Structure 1
Amino acid sequence: MDYIILDIEFNGRKFASELPMEVIEIGAVRLNSSLAYVDEFSSMIKPVYFAKLNSFLKKKTGIEQEEIDAADGFVQVSERFREWLGPNENFLLLTWGGEDMKRIVFDTRMHKLDDSYWMTTDYFDLLKGYLRYKGVSNDVSVEAALADLEIDASGSAHRALDDARMTAEVFRKVFGHLDLSLKQRFKDTYSNAKERRLVKNAIRMLKGQKLTPSWELLAEKVLAGKVDMTNEKKLAELREYFEAELNKKA
C-alpha cells in the first residue's frame, strides 16, 4: 500500500461570482509502505474561467501568468495524474482537510468526466488526524504543524508540490499516532457549516428551554425562514445531522 500526499492550488478570488473556482496546480508525493519517498507528480492547469490570475493569487502563490498560459487543461492533466496514481485500491490518499478532494471532484464533473474513480478513492484527512493526535479542535496550517513538530520547512508555501512535500513530512512524523481506519470517501454535501451550526445550537437552546428537541420543533421554530425548506436533499442531510448530534449528547 502506497501513501499519496496530495495538495492542490485553485484560482480563488476575493469577489462573489457564480462562476466556479478551478484547480490550477496539482502536486503529489508518493511514499511506499515504509514511508520512503518513491516519486512525485506536479503540473499546472489552465482554467476555463479566471484564466488571468489576479494580483492577490500571484502574490500568494508565486505562480506566473506565463505558467498558466502554457499549461494543459484539466482534462489532460487529470488523465496524466490518474495514470500516475494507478488503481485506487493500491494507495491511500492523504490531504490536509477535505477541500482538495472536493475541488478535484467538482472540476471532474464540470468537464463532464466520469467521477467514479474519485468517488471510490479512499482518503485520510491528515488535518483531522493531527488534531486528534494533539487533542485540539482549532484548525492549524501545515506550516504551524511543521513548527510544532520541530520540522524544518523548505520550499514555498501555497505551491502544490512544495506543500505536498511538507505535508508528507508531517505525515511521516505523526504516522504512529494516526488511526488510518478513519479513512473516508468523498461525499456530496448539501448543507453548509453555518446551517449545521444552527442545528447544533438549536438543540442546546431547546434543551435550555426545557423542551424536548425534535426535528419537527426545530424545523418550525429555528430553521423556517433561515434555511431553504424546499430543498429536500438539504433537509434530509440536516435531519441526519440533527439526529447524530442528539444521540451524541444523550
Structure 2
Amino acid sequence: MEYIIYDLEMTNRLSEIIEIGAVKVVETENGLQEKEQFQTFIRPKADQLSSRITSLTGITNKDLANAPSFEEAVKMFRRWIGSDDYYLCSWGPEDKWALITDSTFHQTNTEWIVNHNDLQFSFSMLHESEKGFRYGLSRALEKIGAAQDGNKHRALDDAINTVKIFKTIFQQITLMKNPTSYLESKMFEPEKLVYQSKPESDQTPSPFAALSKLFN
C-alpha cells in the first residue's frame, strides 16, 4: 500500500484547480519513506487568477498559460500514482471535494478518487478534539516541533510539510478505505464532526466552511 499525500491550489471565484503537488510515501522496514514527488500547474478553463491568489500563492497567469488542461494533468497524476493500491491523504476536506467538483465540471471520471483520508481531521482529533478546532498546517507543524519547508500555499511544499505530520500520527490513526461512490454520496452531507479553524495568519476564509454552516 502506498500513501499519496497531496495538496491543491485553486482559483478564487470558481475554485478551479490550478496546481497539484504530491508526495508518494511507502512503508519500509525502517518506517515510512518518501519515494517520489509530483507537481504540475493546471490551465483553468473558465477562470482567471485574481491578484489576491497571485499574492497568496506566487502563481501567475503566465505560469498557467502553457500548463496542461485539467484532463491532461489528472492523467499525468494518475500515471504517477501508478497501479499499486493507495490511500489519498490531504490536509482538510476541501481538496477531496475540489477533485470531485472539477472532475464533474471537466466531465472526467472520479473512479480513482478512492480511500480518501483527511489528515487535518485525524491530527485535530488526536490533539484537540474536545475544543472543536481544526489545526492549520503551520500550527500543526509547530505542535510537533517541525520547521516549515518551502512556501505556504504552494501545492508541493504544503504536501511535503503534511508528510512530516503524517509520519508523527501514522501509528495512532486508522486510515479508511472507501470507494468513489462513498465520496459522491457524502458530498452534500455534513461531516459528523464539524471543526472551525482557529485564526491563523496563513489561513483564508473557505467557501466549504460557509457551506458547513448551512447544514447545521
TM bracket (short chain):
0.7 to 0.9
Normalised by the length of structure 1, the TM-score is: 0.70
Q: Give structure 2 stretches of 5+ with no counterpart.
A: 190-210
Alpha-carbon spacing, 1:133–1:183, altered in 2? closer, same or farther (3 Å): farther
- Amino acid of the structure 2 residue aligned with 1:164: A
| Identical residues among aligned pairs (%) | 29
**Residue of structure 1 equivalent to 2:55:** 59
Q: Give structure 1 stretches of 5+ with no counterpart.
A: 14-19, 198-250
**Residue of structure 1 equivalent to 2:46:** 49
**Residue of structure 2 equivalent to 1:190:** 188
Asked whether 1:116 is paired with 2:114, we answer no
**Residue of structure 1 equivalent to 2:158:** 163
Counterpart-to-counterpart distance in 1, 2:122 and 2:145: 18
User: Given that residues 12 and 50 in structure 2 are in contact (C-alpha distance below 8 angstroms), is that contact kept between their aligned partners in structure 1?
Assistant: no
User: Given that residues 47 and 74 in structure 1 are in contact (C-alpha distance below 8 angstroms), is that contact kept between their aligned partners in structure 2?
Assistant: yes
Say which structure, 1 or 2, has more relative contact order (CA 8 Å, 6+ apart).
2
**Residue of structure 1 equivalent to 2:3:** 3
How far residue 183 of structure 1 moved from its aligned partner, in angstroms, is 4.7
Counterpart-to-counterpart distance in 2, 1:113 and 1:65: 24
If you compute each CA radius of gyration, which structure gives the higher value, 1 or 2? 1
Counterpart-to-counterpart distance in 2, 1:159 and 1:134: 25
Counterpart-to-counterpart distance in 2, 1:116 and 1:151: 35
Counterpart-to-counterpart distance in 2, 1:168 and 1:148: 14
Instruction: List structure 1 runs of 4+ shifted beyond 6 angstroms.
Output: none
SS in structure 2 of the partner of residue 158 of structure 1: coil
5 Å matches for 1:1-250?
Answer: 1-13=1-13, 20-34=14-28, 35-51=32-48, 53-87=49-83, 90-118=85-113, 121-136=114-129, 137-180=132-175, 182-184=176-178, 185-188=182-185, 189-190=187-188, 192-197=211-216
Counterpart-to-counterpart distance in 1, 2:167 and 2:46: 37
Structure with greater helix percent: 1
SS in structure 2 of the partner of residue 155 of structure 1: coil
**Residue of structure 2 equivalent to 1:214:** none
**Residue of structure 1 equivalent to 2:198:** none
Aligned residues: 186
User: How much is the aligned-residue C-alpha RMSD, in angstroms?
Assistant: 1.6
Alpha-carbon spacing, 1:31–1:190, altered in 2? closer, same or farther (3 Å): closer
SS in structure 2 of the partner of residue 117 of structure 1: coil
User: Given that residues 21 and 49 in structure 1 are in contact (C-alpha distance below 8 angstroms), is that contact kept between their aligned partners in structure 2?
Assistant: no
